Amino acid sequence: MADDAEHRGDSIRGEGSGRDTDKESVIYTKLKDGSCKLYELEKELRPLDAIRVRRGYIEQETGTTLENLGIFSIDIERVVKRNCENMIGIVQVPVGVAGPLIVAGEYAQGSYYLPLATTEGALVASVNRGCSAITQAGGAQARILHDGMTRAPVFAADSIVHAKMVADWVADHREDLRAAAESTTSHGKMTDVVTYIAGTSVFVRIEFDTKDAMGMNMVTIASANVAEIIAQATGARLIALSGNMCTDKKPAAINGIMGRGRSVVAGIALSHDSISQIFKTDAKSMFEVNYRKNLIGSARAGSMGFNAHAANIVAAMFIACGQDAAHAIDGSTCITTVDLTDAGAYVSVTLPSLPVGTVGGGTGLETQQECLRILGVAGGGDPPGTNARKLAEIIGAGVLAGELSLLGALAAQHLARAHKQLGRG
Amino acid sequence: MADDAEHRGDSIRGEGSGRDTDKESVIYTKLKDGSCKLYELEKELRPLDAIRVRRGYIEQETGTTLENLGIFSIDIERVVKRNCENMIGIVQVPVGVAGPLIVAGEYAQGSYYLPLATTEGALVASVNRGCSAITQAGGAQARILHDGMTRAPVFAADSIVHAKMVADWVADHREDLRAAAESTTSHGKMTDVVTYIAGTSVFVRIEFDTKDAMGMNMVTIASANVAEIIAQATGARLIALSGNMCTDKKPAAINGIMGRGRSVVAGIALSHDSISQIFKTDAKSMFEVNYRKNLIGSARAGSMGFNAHAANIVAAMFIACGQDAAHAIDGSTCITTVDLTDAGAYVSVTLPSLPVGTVGGGTGLETQQECLRILGVAGGGDPPGTNARKLAEIIGAGVLAGELSLLGALAAQHLARAHKQLGRG
Amino acid sequence: MADDAEHRGDSIRGEGSGRDTDKESVIYTKLKDGSCKLYELEKELRPLDAIRVRRGYIEQETGTTLENLGIFSIDIERVVKRNCENMIGIVQVPVGVAGPLIVAGEYAQGSYYLPLATTEGALVASVNRGCSAITQAGGAQARILHDGMTRAPVFAADSIVHAKMVADWVADHREDLRAAAESTTSHGKMTDVVTYIAGTSVFVRIEFDTKDAMGMNMVTIASANVAEIIAQATGARLIALSGNMCTDKKPAAINGIMGRGRSVVAGIALSHDSISQIFKTDAKSMFEVNYRKNLIGSARAGSMGFNAHAANIVAAMFIACGQDAAHAIDGSTCITTVDLTDAGAYVSVTLPSLPVGTVGGGTGLETQQECLRILGVAGGGDPPGTNARKLAEIIGAGVLAGELSLLGALAAQHLARAHKQLGRG
Amino acid sequence: MADDAEHRGDSIRGEGSGRDTDKESVIYTKLKDGSCKLYELEKELRPLDAIRVRRGYIEQETGTTLENLGIFSIDIERVVKRNCENMIGIVQVPVGVAGPLIVAGEYAQGSYYLPLATTEGALVASVNRGCSAITQAGGAQARILHDGMTRAPVFAADSIVHAKMVADWVADHREDLRAAAESTTSHGKMTDVVTYIAGTSVFVRIEFDTKDAMGMNMVTIASANVAEIIAQATGARLIALSGNMCTDKKPAAINGIMGRGRSVVAGIALSHDSISQIFKTDAKSMFEVNYRKNLIGSARAGSMGFNAHAANIVAAMFIACGQDAAHAIDGSTCITTVDLTDAGAYVSVTLPSLPVGTVGGGTGLETQQECLRILGVAGGGDPPGTNARKLAEIIGAGVLAGELSLLGALAAQHLARAHKQLGRG
């Protein structure tokens, strides 16, 4: 393909043929003189052409050659409508697999290969090593602790007395609000509504069971309805549909404590033998790395994350599986523990807030969908919600693999140094 | 291409031709019986073949067809060595552009198109709107406040007295440690070393000017050298090269306060007119959204991020530009402010910790490199460091565009509702 | 009294007369040779004598003269049993009053003088000024948002699967646990029980309506009962009756979000005129101080407190009123807001977690009781709980006075400087 | 004394004799009609009389009898000028002693009795038990890690470019600022100045070695001078002398990371025997309580304090020793660790921020001064600063005693239950 000059920068699907070069040169002129905006190209051209023309324009404007960005196979009609505006092409993010990883969850039960999209060398190898350890030890336990996507509109009250009235009104009208919320969706169920006050600001945190969707859009639409009713009934001014007590894409204690998305925990009991054979270290060293690094180090740093590199696994699986990449933040608040036991060690990860879905968002793109299929979770589950929960359990187990591997590696170095020092002593 | 059955699932570069099907079927058998591991394929086969065979194996094991994952144009020889192990292909992440965005930084000076890799519909459009506003208003100011990548090994001391001795020893041997650190790199300069104690745990936070590299590897290698010396001289046991006071890929106050990577701030003065014309709202409404949502809401939620959706822009630009996607976490701790002024409003974003580089990591992949080229920051800068700083300033300005756009949209809705309510009154 | 040598160091109540000096000199010898411990004196002597002898012993051991510590009027029999072991006397903490302060709460309705025990000059004067402003403006609004004292035992489970089972068991047996909890108290009511998991650690946060008691003891005793049942039924090991998710005497997001003790909010609308007359500043300056200091400054510092000096008022009122002084920490997490309004400014304080009581603890000491009486809240309320809530509302209003005063003073300085600068310009 | 009706409610010093009853009744009338303010009484009357009249007025206004508040022996002339305005008397806070406690610090070396002012039963007994354990085990190690009181004025810049200029100007003029700062004090030395930017807000954190003073006033006065110079030179508007990045009386990561006041660490090695004998438990149980409660529980709660009840000891010693009670907050951020060792356990406490002084504030009150004398730290040290540091080390050791005792008690219960369960098995 690289030697096929005519197709350079084009979709390999080839639907771009039959282009109207005259029309395009007119558009170039319009782009130059500002009478056509870059984002308006789809109005004039078929999507593939619009992307090509836009990319060509950027090439000219920036004096670059963008030959690889234009190579893709995904269904562009769909993408430009749902996933990305002003498109000029795609980036290729390498996908490696780690596994097989045995997971013994409530939803994920079996052996899985984890697709990890990353450009950071050693990550896949590291997770893979963790998967081996887990699988050799019989598999990772995994459980969903809580499930609910949230949105928290913020209102302005006139006074703290008014604010309290708003909170009381919400508490007294839960069922009305639930009806209003659920009228906007055929899938979701409102599971909770909690009100928080800070002076004259009133935050109404609405929680939804969004089934197999990650559900931010669903809960936002429902919240809009609910918020309108509250504003009407109480006279409080609706300031913003999201008042940051949701909390979306910011590390926040409220998500850690109340949960957001799927709250998942995974764990594994490792014998002394397996720690010694797989990780070339011992339980005590592995414990000490976790204790001084993940617990004391994080405490001293004022960190909200008590783990080694959970976000790496979450980000790589999120990108591979078409999840919202900015949600990898939630993975970073994982708590990793290593308990010493008579038999060896019990290692766990707790992810209080993992917003995942198997329908909607980026899950429909062909490559991302293929990654979901590798895990057997593409599309809606039966019953609804089971695919998303299964995905969450698998990611939890994957994070466990990543943590185990890095802790093991650090502990092995630590042990090696200790032996060396003793040898010198 | 899609109609070319033979090439299905192959690199479009086509170097995969001439495959040895007999050898491959032997390998399949070995993979099945476990005598060859999935990650060992590159020992037996050329990279493109290894990837294809591995993907084929995963297809069989999982009963899936992975036709799109195998379509790519990036130079696989390089990728399998540096960026991704156990590779089965790539995911295609759509890239849209926002801009032109005028940036008036110290390093970035001019007009830029921001490449954003995302599958979340509306994001590019939103940032694009913010770019228009900024550009119309004359451009975003941007400054680098601090620059230093960190690594903090953790040591175990025997007692708090020993711990204090270690800290004192480090303070007394800064120059020796600097020499040891810098001996491991031809680029980096050690800029600081600070010691923190928590009981018997001693954390030595080493800071480097890593020039155009994001620099985690550089500083880790240097820290290993430094840590070895400290352990030898003080008798403290080195527990882990990273003791979480670095802090990497976890939200942490220490990064907010001391900075990590590039600390960047961006801002813009908007006139009443431009707020009214572009955002269909007024300064006061925009202020109020930021005040109740980003400041009070985040405070009430126990959040470390005081912004609307900074992580969205950081994640999208990081994926497009070959940065470490898990570092988008750092973007999420942004503080966004809207100050009311006589003329209108001054809006700013402060990103205390943005680990970016223009060399190394994923920056060498063809599609990612093209995105960096769009910004004029591919490869090392002249003088060294200027490209990475330029990238940081542009991302800062991009985050400003994203914040402006979302705050503006929320404020416009708010204003619309207010008018409607008044109309009804 | 100072001239009455014989009584130096004695209770002014004078019950110490008739001391048996022979017996005491024997005891001195025993204390010296260690055959009697300092804390055993009450076994041998009447309380007043024990205190005097103990103080005398400390004087000898440390070569000091402790003439003022021994002067007190409180009923020592009661104190040595309930409030303080190994007593040597008392410290005198000066009490000033601020007020009158008009409070328009649900429980506190009227005009109050606030007793403040402090040694920090200017504090009472500052709060007093705030009280004047509030009273002049018609009084502080105050509301209780939530009321519940908590205790969270921590259990160790064998695995995350076991942990989840424990959580499920608790959810399924709320009513049994409630009965067990309430069987330990004639006053308290269990209002909630929530379970949190971190790996194999299970935290069961039990919440009580403790009426007029601060209630830590009540909820601890009830939790012991509940915890025993959970351990028996689930096989989880009870590790500690308090697992720090309570959270007691540590700043914690969970208290901010879920509330602990009494959650109280207070606020006041100030006109432009009153801001100008009382504070010699304007609404905008007051707003800007709060905005840059209490909101942005605290955010940037990684602080959990978004206020100026709320803890000062809480600590001073807590010491005066016999509250647990270490609970002043909870006051420090206050969020203070200044909203600009057409009429001037609306200022508020939100204290999510204020553990107060009017019975038990230090509330029975004569001086502390007198302070409670000044507020009309000594002893149990009618109906039960109303006195404690009244106290919480008054403290909330007092914090508002303190915040107003300091913000006003800072704003006045700011305005003065601004005028000066303009004058020079 | 109690039977001496005439002196009821008076200072036991008796200087209140010779009162002018006519004058006082005139004043009562004036107070009633508002022509004299409560806080103006000291202008008309001698302090003792003013206090009595004010108390009498409060008695009338509130319908209470305040007979104990008026009993005190402290030198009121001094107190009304320096420590408390609008005084009506004092509260008596019981003081118990814990000890002897052997401390092996750099400044505190020897055996100490800790004065603890508290109304919370069991606290002194608990700390006393910890002191026994420590003393039996040879004494607590203690070290000062950092020493510096801070104040951080906040400035408003016009733009982020201006903000950066201010920061650069400060960095370039450190020596000028130091001279200006130190010109305001004969004792203090400026040890650091660091600038933080959040948008247009610039925070200049000035750090002082305040010798034996807690030093808030000293550094505030010095900061005022510094701030004025910065404002003049840079054109930035000084908004508030304290911009909350100090951070005073709010829990804040910046204090944990950078230190504020005295940063102190204390620790002790306990043998298996001593754990068994003194605490009736074993090292492993004590470790597990700390691990699940203080580390994992606090992490899960979003807490800034990783300890059991450090604030209790800090508050009680602060009140006894005339420290600012609201500063007990800083004690609450303590990190407590229990390391398992071959010999038993090493237990430590790390208090990053302990603002203490032995001169100024409440240290001059007679009873508080006596408590300081018990510790041998009343007044200025020789050389200056050594008394305050000694006090900090002793408090650190006291916190260690308190933590040890509570952890030991919890662990003993845990072990007892474990044995019971086994017995039943």
One-letter-per-residue 3-state SS of chain B: CCCCHHHCCCCCCCCCCCCCHHHHHHHHHHHHHCCCCHHHHHHHCCHHHHHHHHHHHHHHHHCCCCCCCCCCCCCHHHHHHHCCCCEEEEEEEEEEEEEEEEEECCCCEEEEEEEEECCCCCHHHHHHHHHHHHHHCCCEEEEEEEEEEEECCEEECCCHHHHHHHHHHHHHCHHHHHHHHHCCCCCCEEEEEEEEEECCEEEEEEEEECCCECCHHHHHHHHHHHHHHHHHHHCCEEEECCCCCCCCCCCEHHHHHHCEEEEEEEEEEEEHHHHHHHHCCCHHHHHHHHHHHHHHHHHHCCECCECCCHHHHHHHHHHHCCCCHHHHHHHCCCEEEEEECCCEEEEEEEEEEECCCCECHHHHCHHHHHHHHHCCCCCCCCCCCHHHHHHHHHHHHHHHHHHHHHHHHHHHHHHHHHHHHHHHC
Q: Supply the pLDDT for residue D139.
A: 98
**What tokens appear for A153 in the block?**
């509109």
Q: Is B299 in contact with C295 (Cβ distance < 8 A)? A: yes
d(CA B283, CA B348): 14
Nearest Cβ partner for C302 among B256, B337, B350: B256
Contacts of C335 in chain B (CB under 8 A): 296, 299-300
**What tokens appear for B115 in the block?**
């490449």
Catalytic residue among A207, A212, A324, A403: A324
Interface of C with B in 157-196 (CB under 8 A): none
Contacts (Cβ under 8 Å, ≥6 apart) of B268: B134, B137, B138, B139, B140, B141, B346, B347, B348, B400, B404
Q: Is D296 in contact with A257 (Cβ distance < 8 A)? A: no
d(CA A47, CA A15): 10
Catalytic residue annotation of B = 120, 324, 419
Contacts (Cβ under 8 Å, ≥6 apart) of A274: A133, A136, A137, A344
Q: Supply the pLDDT for residue A422.
A: 55
Question: Which range is most confident: C16-20, D19-23, D185-189?
Answer: D185-189
B425–C contact, CB cutoff 8 A = no
d(CA D161, CA C255): 39
Residue B260: pLDDT over 80? yes
Q: Is D374 in contact with C64 (Cβ distance < 8 A)? A: yes
Residue of D339, D149, D307 whose CA lies nearest to D242: D149
Nearest Cβ partner for A141 among C160, C167, C198: C160
Q: Is D335 in contact with A296 (Cβ distance < 8 A)? A: yes
Q: Supply the pLDDT for residue B422.
A: 55
Residue A24: pLDDT over 50? yes
Residue of B nearest to A237 (CA): B418
Nearest Cβ partner for C335 among B253, B291, B299: B299
Q: What are all long-range contacts of B412-419, with beta carbons under 8 Å and residues at least 24 apart? A: B412/B279, B412/B280, B412/B281, B412/B285, B413/A240, B413/A241, B414/A237, B414/A238, B414/A239, B414/A240, B414/B281, B414/B285, B414/B288, B414/B289, B415/B280, B415/B281, B415/B282, B415/B285, B416/B280, B417/A231, B417/A237, B417/A238, B418/A237, B418/B285
Pairing of strands D260-271, D140-151: antiparallel
Find out whether C235 and D290 touch, Cβ atoms under 8 Å: no
d(CA B347, CA A275): 53
CA distance C395 to chain A (A): 16
Average pLDDT over residues A293-303: 98
Nearest Cβ partner for B84 among A124, A241, A322: A124
**What tokens appear for B72 in the block?**
């790519």
Find out whether B212 and B384 touch, Cβ atoms under 8 Å: yes
Q: Is C244 in contact with D293 (Cβ distance < 8 A)? A: yes
Kindly give the interhelix angle for A160-172 and A174-182, rounded to the nearest 10 degrees.
Answer: 70
**CA D279 to centroid of chain Cα atoms:** 29
d(CA A166, CA A157): 8
CA-to-CA separations, B283 to B121, B265, B276, B417, C169, in angstroms, rounded:
27, 21, 8, 16, 53
Average pLDDT over residues B420-424: 55
- Which residue, among D32, D81, D85, D281, would best test binding to C if mutated, counting the most C CBs under 10 Å from its CB? D85
Residue of D nearest to B306 (CA): D198
Residue A8: pLDDT over 80? no
Residue B425: pLDDT over 60? no
A247 upstream amide cis, omega within 30 of 0: yes
CA distance B392 to chain A (A): 18
Pairing of strands B201-209, B140-151: antiparallel
Contacts of D309 in chain C (CB under 8 A): 248-249, 326
Residue of C nearest to D419 (CA): C237
Q: Is A371 in contact with B69 (Cβ distance < 8 A)? A: yes
pLDDT digits (tens, 9 = 90+) for A216-226: 999 999 999 99
Residue B10: pLDDT over 80? no
**Cα R_g (chain D), whole angstroms:** 25
Average pLDDT over residues B55-75: 96
- Counted residue by residue, chain B has a size of 425
Instruction: Give the DSSP letter of residue D83.
Output: T
Catalytic residue among A85, A106, A168, A419: A419
Q: Is B141 in contact with D161 (Cβ distance < 8 A)? A: yes
Give ipTM to 2 decimals.
0.95
Instruction: Give the DSSP letter of residue D236.
Output: P
Q: Is B300 in contact with C335 (Cβ distance < 8 A)? A: yes
CB pairs under 8 A between A and C: 103
CA distance A342 to chain B (A): 23
CB pairs under 8 A between A and D: 37
Q: What is the mean pLDDT of chain D?
A: 93
C273 is catalytic: no
pLDDT confidence tier of residue B421, bands split at 50, 70 and 90:
low
Catalytic residue annotation of D = 120, 324, 419
Residue B423: pLDDT over 60? no
Q: Lowest mean pLDDT: which of A180-189, B192-201, D205-214?
A: A180-189
Q: Torsion-angle region of residue D365: left (phi > 0), alpha (psi -120 to 50) or beta?
A: beta
Interface of D with C in 276-295 (CB under 8 A): 288-289, 292-294
Q: What is the mean pLDDT of chain B?
A: 93
Q: Is B118 in contact with A90 (Cβ distance < 8 A)? A: no
pLDDT < 70: residue spans in chain C: 1-18, 420-425
pLDDT confidence tier of residue D414, bands split at 50, 70 and 90:
confident
Which residue type is seen at B267?
G
Q: Is A368 in contact with B119 (Cβ distance < 8 A)? A: yes
Catalytic residue among C77, C85, C106, C120: C120
Question: What is the model's pTM?
Answer: 0.96
Contacts of C350 in chain A (CB under 8 A): 197-199
Nearest Cβ partner for B335 among C296, C306, C337: C296
Find out whether C215 and C188 touch, Cβ atoms under 8 Å: yes
Residue of C94, C100, C85, C95 whose CA lies nearest to C42: C85
D217–C contact, CB cutoff 8 A = no
Q: Is B302 in contact with C300 (Cβ distance < 8 A)? A: no
What subunits make at least 3 CB pairs under 8 angstroms with A? Answer: B, C, D
Residue of A nearest to D254 (CA): A302
Residue of D nearest to B144 (CA): D164
Nearest Cβ partner for C339 among A197, A200, A253: A200
Place of tokens 């960096």: B372
Q: Is D160 in contact with B201 (Cβ distance < 8 A)? A: no
Q: Supply the pLDDT for residue A423.
A: 53
**What tokens appear for A332 in the block?**
């970073």
Contacts of A258 in chain C (CB under 8 A): 257
Residue B28: pLDDT over 70? yes
Sign of CA dihedral C107, C112, C118, C122: positive
Q: Is C199 in contact with A142 (Cβ distance < 8 A)? A: no
**What tokens appear for D210 in the block?**
């305040």
Residue B341: pLDDT over 80? yes
A61 is catalytic: no
Contacts of A164 in chain C (CB under 8 A): 143, 145, 265
Nearest Cβ partner for C302 among A156, A160, A302: A302
Contacts of A302 in chain D (CB under 8 A): 253, 256-257, 304
Residue A47: pLDDT over 60? yes
CA distance A157 to chain C (A): 11
Find out whether D65 and D46 touch, Cβ atoms under 8 Å: no
Q: Is D247 in contact with C307 (Cβ distance < 8 A)? A: no
Q: Is A199 in contact with C349 (Cβ distance < 8 A)? A: yes
Interface of A with C in 305-364 (CB under 8 A): 335-337, 339, 346, 348-350
**CA C43 to centroid of chain Cα atoms:** 32
Residue D117: pLDDT over 80? yes
Nearest Cβ partner for B293 among A95, A240, A417: A240
Residue D18: pLDDT over 70? no
Residue A180: pLDDT over 80? yes
d(CA A101, CA A133): 9
B50–A contact, CB cutoff 8 A = no
CA-to-CA separations, A213 to A187, A205, A386, C176, in angstroms, rounded:
9, 19, 11, 37
- Phi, psi angle pair for A202, to nearest 5°: -120, 125
